[in-house]
Amino acid sequence: MPFAFSKVNAVMRAVRMSRQREVAAARMTALEESNHLLQSQARQLENQTNEARELAHELALTNEELRAVISEARKAWAAADSANRSKAEFLTVMSHELRTPLNSIGGYVDLLEMELRGPLTGAQKSDLTRIKRSQLHLLGIINDILNFTRLEATEVKYDIIDVPLRPLITDLDAVVSSLARAKSVAYRCDSPSRNVYARTDPDKLRQVMINLLSNAVKFTPAGGRVRVSCTLKEKTVSIHVEDNGPGIPHDKHESVFEPFVQLDRGLTRTTEGTGLGLAISRGLARGMGGDIVLRSDPGVGSVFTVTVPLATRTPSHNRKELQRNER
């Protein structure tokens, strides 16, 4: 019996040792796998670190290039701003220098027409009329250039007040009606009611309206029509200048507001002007917190709409009335 117990104990010890060896081998295998994983992760981390260093180097180069580009852009902007100021100053000085002799020419023409230096023949009066027309035309061009340079230099001052629209629009009849009659164009003005007020600069708005109406009459052929009307919304009032002239192609709707742009180009064009009127008008409208937009179809006509803020003193029943008319 003692021999049998001794043999069993030996077998049990052998089994335990075998299990311990298996556990140790499993642990060793797990440690080796962990070591391989750690080494792989270390290599990945090293690669990522190298990539990060490369990216940081590229970013540093990009930042340097960006700083250089910004520096060049600032220099270019400063040069352009200086050139723009020089151009504006030159045009302003030249406009004043040209206006002085032109005003003198106009004054002398007026004196001659008054026949203070003696009677004039019919041919002489006709010549003086042509001189006067040319003098006014040149003066208008110079005034347009001067106004445009002021707009570009943001030197235009606005006197924003509550303005009754009816008398302002009605006063345009004296100017527009004579132009329309001279071209055999029918002119119609649908004035708003007396209690409609706009929050705007009356002189600037009048200048905008004269520009738009003059253009409408200028580009509308004989027998055509020009119409002015108003519509109201909750916070704005819109003044529409409509004509049945040749219209404007859709791809030119924005370019007509750019300075010195004229659709009728070349030596054979039939209309005069510098191409600054619409650019000045839109600049003035936006300076008053409004805008000018165009709706036009070739062969149908055009509608230029000036929108300005509506004064709060406009009674609510007038707003509803014009909104109904708009519908």
- Residue 311 DSSP label: P
Report the distance separating Cα 20 and Cα 192, nearest Å. Answer: 105
pTM over 0.85: no
- Crossing angle of helices 122-152 and 277-287, rounded to 10°: 50
- CB atoms under 10 Å from CB of 236, counted, come to 16
Domain 162-326 has CATH 3.40.50.1000: no
Does the pLDDT of residue 143 top 80, yes or no?
Answer: no
8 Å CB contact between 241 and 228? yes
Query: Which range, of 104-108, 205-209, 266-270, averages the lowest pLDDT?
Result: 266-270
Q: What is the pLDDT of residues 183-217, one digit of tens each?
A: 899 999 988 888 899 999 999 999 899 989 988 99
174 CB burial (10 A radius; 0-12, 13-18, 19+): exposed
| String of DSSP letters for 114-130 | TTTTS---HHHHHHHHH
Q: What is the pLDDT of residues 210-244, one digit of tens each?
A: 989 988 998 899 999 999 999 998 899 999 999 99
